[in-house]
């Protein structure tokens, strides 16, 4: 077997019978996979030596994954992201052997009975058989957790494996607001093992509104990557959120969405600047680092950035000296926008 690059670098002890995936093996709007080099470079340069790093809008956890040597605080409002962040960065020990055993079993099941997922989503984002499999696996994870056969981290690792496997075969262009009408549903659901690079007992993982969490934590560097525009993440990833939470709510409409009222983000609304100002005021850090791109007034209306640059600078300057760094970047979009080159900016505020 050819080992993944990460495992070669880290000299991980891997099981030959299962395949592996990393944090970046997932499609996610606004993810910073390709920008982590740029972000890390300027944080290292500007913030010097530091102990703790908080990523309050962590999404996939791609940025936090660049700071594994620090004490991490990792947060996202979506439970589906919390689960993945627990898997990647959680502070609880887990058994890799146990996880790979479950993954092998799950990859070999064949089912004839329908369940919550196949009844609601068969032949839409996934085939009936893949829906049956995913629904069965998610139920089994829950039952095993309730029965005490797996701990919380192991539960999160198995759900993460399921989320990444579903994302690989989804009949979509990367989000779940719609599925392709004549798309390919033949791909097989195949769970793999996350390439987790250790357990740091000092790490803390949260599933809260960042504005609520900010006054409860402190870190040397607090990194912020809020949504820029009116596209709500709970709309784009409702199906993965539904599977992660597994409360089996009623779903409606062609896209099969559940009620998402409590998951809506202020950062996608006209109130974004006020939410941002309150957030910045309550952060306890030596440095505040913000990613925010330059889509304002350039793309289709939904893509327009919610907080004007002058407001960002004014609000950050209330806390200290601000520097701005830039990098050209192409975003993952749904193809409706005409923007070709996009500029990603990093605002670094040294708190006084
Ligand atoms: C631009 S994405 C972050 C992408 C992330 N840096 C990555 O590389 O994957 C913004 C994230 O903020 C989350 N979010 C939106 N509003 C939030 C809030 N009020 N508190 C915490 N997280 C929020 C969304 O669920 C989404 O995952």
Count Cβ atoms below 10 Å from residue 150 Cβ, excluding itself.
21
At 188 the pLDDT is 95
Ligand 1 and 118: CB distance under 6 A: no
End-to-end CA distance of the chain: 52
Global pTM value: 0.93
Token pair 């790979």 is at which residue?
100
Structure tokens at 317: 């300057």
329 bridge partner residues: 342
Give me ligand 1 centre to Cα 110, in Å.
36
The model's pLDDT over 266-317, given as tens digits with 9 standing for 90+, comes to 999 999 999 999 999 999 999 999 999 876 555 555 667 889 999 999 999 9
The CA-based dihedral angle spanning residues 304, 61, 349, 52, taken in that order and rounded to the nearest 10 degrees = 170
Closest to 229 (Cα-Cα) out of 281, 314, 300, 311: 300
CATH architecture of 34-91+203-230+269-352: 3-Layer(aba) Sandwich (3.40)
Ligand 1 and 117: CB distance under 6 A: no
Mutate to test the pocket of ligand 1, among 81, 226, 283 (most ligand atoms within 8 A of CB): 226
Count Cβ atoms below 10 Å from residue 6 Cβ, excluding itself.
16
At 22 the pLDDT is 96
At 6 the pLDDT is 47
Give me ligand 1 centre to Cα 76, in Å.
6
At 301 the pLDDT is 59
Structure tokens at 326: 């830039």
The model's pLDDT over 182-227, given as tens digits with 9 standing for 90+, comes to 888 989 999 999 999 889 999 999 999 999 999 999 999 999 999 9
The ranges assigned to domains in the chain are 1-30+92-199, 34-91+203-230+269-352
Integer angstrom CA distances of residue 197 from 12, 152, 169, 194 = 8, 18, 25, 9
At 263 the pLDDT is 97
At 173 the pLDDT is 87
Give me ligand 1 centre to Cα 102, in Å.
30
Strands 52-55 and 219-224: parallel
Residues of the chain with pLDDT under 70: 1-18, 295-303, 330-341
Which atom of ligand 1 lies nearest, measured to the CA of 36? 8
The total number of residues written for the chain in this structure? 352
Q: CB-based burial of residue 134 (10 Å sphere; 0-12 exposed, 13-18 middle, 19+ buried)? A: buried
């Amino acid at each position: 077997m050819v080992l993944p690059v990460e495992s070669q670098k880290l000299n991980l002890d891997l099981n030959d019978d299962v395949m592996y995936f990393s944090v970046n093996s997932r499609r996610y709007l606004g993810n910073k996979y390709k920008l982590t080099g740029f972000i890390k470079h300027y944080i290292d340069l500007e913030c010097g030596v530091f102990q703790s790093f908080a990523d309050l809008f962590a999404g996939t956890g791609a940025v936090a994954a660049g700071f594994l040597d620090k004490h991490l605080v990792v947060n996202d409002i979506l439970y589906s992201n919390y689960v993945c962040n627990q898997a990647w960065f959680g502070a609880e020990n887990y058994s890799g052997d146990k996880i790979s055993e479950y993954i092998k079993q799950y990859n070999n099941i064949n089912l004839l009975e329908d369940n919550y997922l196949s009844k609601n989503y068969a032949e839409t984002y996934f085939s009936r058989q893949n829906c049956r499999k995913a629904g069965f696996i998610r139920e089994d994870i829950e039952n095993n957790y309730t029965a005490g056969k797996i701990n919380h981290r192991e539960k999160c690792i198995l759900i993460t494996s399921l989320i990444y496997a579903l994302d690989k075969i989804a009949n979509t262009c990367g989000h779940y607001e719609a599925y392709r009408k004549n798309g390919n549903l033949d791909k097989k659901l195949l769970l793999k093992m996350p390439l987790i690079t250790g357990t740091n007992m000092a790490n803390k993982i949260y599933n809260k509104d960042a504005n609520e969490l900010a006054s409860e934590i402190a870190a040397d560097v607090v990194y912020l990557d809020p949504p820029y525009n009116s596209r709500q993440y709970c709309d784009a990833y409702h199906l993965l959120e539904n599977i992660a939470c597994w409360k089996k709510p009623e779903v409606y409409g062609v896209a099969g969405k559940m009620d998402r009222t409590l998951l809506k983000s202020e950062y996608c609304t006209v109130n974004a600047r006020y939410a941002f100002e309150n957030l910045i005021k309550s952060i306890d850090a030596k440095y505040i680092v913000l990613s925010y791109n330059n889509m304002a007034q350039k793309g289709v209306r939904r893509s327009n950035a919610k907080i004007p640059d002058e407001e960002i600078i004014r609000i950050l300057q209330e806390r200290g000296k601000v520097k701005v760094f830039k990098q050209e970047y192409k975003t993952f979009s749904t193809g409706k926008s005409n923007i070709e080159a996009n500029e990603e900016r990093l605002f670094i505020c040294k708190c006084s």
